[in-house]
């Protein structure tokens, strides 16, 4: 789910088509504050966009350069952090067999390019509204002991002895959520910057390091779940079984974490997408 979209009521649409006129057409149709339209003219650009931010809906042509859109759909539906993104085929190809295959692979819709622009807009909006309703119904994301409330931007640690909130800033929450949502995936600083501040904002990549450092202090004994990948960025990896029982207590908006009550004051405050096609292997990190 797209936390940025939920906050700013912005739907992010990715158009995958070698013909840039398709992107321009859809961009003009959704030239409103509630929508952002991104372009990818090839598979590499598509995967780069998907690995740098959370897209709400993909509109793709069947006929692509490296592989066809049906193969792209198959890969995305079998990849953890893209499998729930709705895919609409908007193509000049009207073959019935391709329509049947697209729906069998999990596509939300199949639209031939000769359709009326207003019909195209209505059908895309219909799918986005479905995404929004699903998001509201699923705004809680759980990962082991961590529970993320996307609508309130809050993180709780669920311990057998109770539930405790980790007081995070909005930026820290976004960073932590994005890492957790893409657990065991190495995310570069640029990917984190794009997700947190969007690609239209100029922020130094070292700003991420500062926020991650503060985030780790607030996570206390769980700080090790955020792994530093030297020269690249960060990843989220955790195995709660390796962490002994902890006692958490929230005082004055700071999470105190300790192995026992007597120590709590001392510790206060303290999937890479890839597609293989014959001899070709495409990877974007």
Q: What is the pTM of this model?
A: 0.54
Residue-wise pLDDT for 146-199, tens only, equals: 888 887 778 988 766 677 888 888 888 889 998 988 888 888 888 888 777 754
In what side-by-side order are the strands of the sheet with 35-40?
Answer: 35-40, 11-16, 57-60, 87-91, 109-112
Residue-wise pLDDT for 148-160, tens only, equals: 888 777 898 876 6
Say what the pLDDT of residue 135 is.
53
Domains of the chain (ranges, CATH numbers): 3-138 (3.40.50.2300), 140-263 (1.10.10.10)
Is the Cβ–Cβ distance between 56 and 131 less than 8 Å? yes
d(CA 169, CA 243) in angstroms, rounded, equals 25
Backbone angles phi, psi at 57, to 5 degrees: -160, 145
**47 sits in which H/E element:** helix 43-52
- 14 burial level (CB within 10 Å; 0-12, 13-18, 19+): buried
Say what the pLDDT of residue 281 is.
40
What is the rounded end-to-end Cα distance, in angstroms, of the chain?
A: 20
Residue 222 has pLDDT above 50, yes or no: yes
**125 sits in which H/E element:** helix 117-137
Say what the pLDDT of residue 30 is.
92
């Amino acid at each position: 789910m797209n936390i940025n979209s939920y906050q700013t009521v912005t739907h992010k649409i990715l158009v995958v088509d070698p013909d840039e006129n398709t992107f321009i057409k859809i961009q003009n149709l959704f030239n409103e504050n509630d929508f952002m339209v991104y372009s990818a003219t090839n598979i590499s650009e598509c995967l780069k966009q998907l690995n740098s931010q959370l897209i709400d809906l993909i509109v793709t042509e069947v006929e692509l350069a490296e592989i066809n859109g049906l193969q792209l759909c198959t890969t995305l539906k079998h990849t953890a952090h893209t499998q729930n993104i709705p895919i609409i085929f908007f193509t000049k190809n009207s073959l019935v067999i391709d329509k049947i295959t697209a729906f069998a692979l999990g596509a939300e819709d199949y639209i031939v390019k000769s359709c009326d622009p207003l019909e195209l807009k209505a059908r895309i909006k219909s799918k986005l509204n479905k995404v929004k309703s699903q998001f509201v119904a699923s705004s809680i994301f759980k990962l082991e002991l961590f529970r993320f409330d996307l609508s309130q931007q809050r993180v709780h640690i669920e311990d057998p002895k109770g539930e405790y909130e980790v007081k995070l800033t909005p930026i820290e929450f976004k960073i932590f959520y994005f890492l957790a949502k893409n657990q065991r995936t190495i995310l570069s600083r640029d990917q984190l910057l794009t997700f947190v501040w969007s690609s239209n904002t100029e922020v130094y990549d070292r700003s991420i390091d500062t926020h991650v450092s503060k985030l780790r202090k607030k996570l206390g004994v769980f700080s090790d779940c955020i792994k530093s990948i030297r020269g690249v960025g960060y990843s989220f990896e955790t195995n709660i079984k390796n962490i002994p029982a902890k006692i958490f207590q929230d005082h004055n908006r700071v999470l105190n974490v300790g192995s026992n009550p007597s120590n709590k004051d001392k510790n206060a405050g303290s999937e890479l997408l890839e597609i293989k096609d014959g001899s070709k292997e495409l990877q974007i990190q």
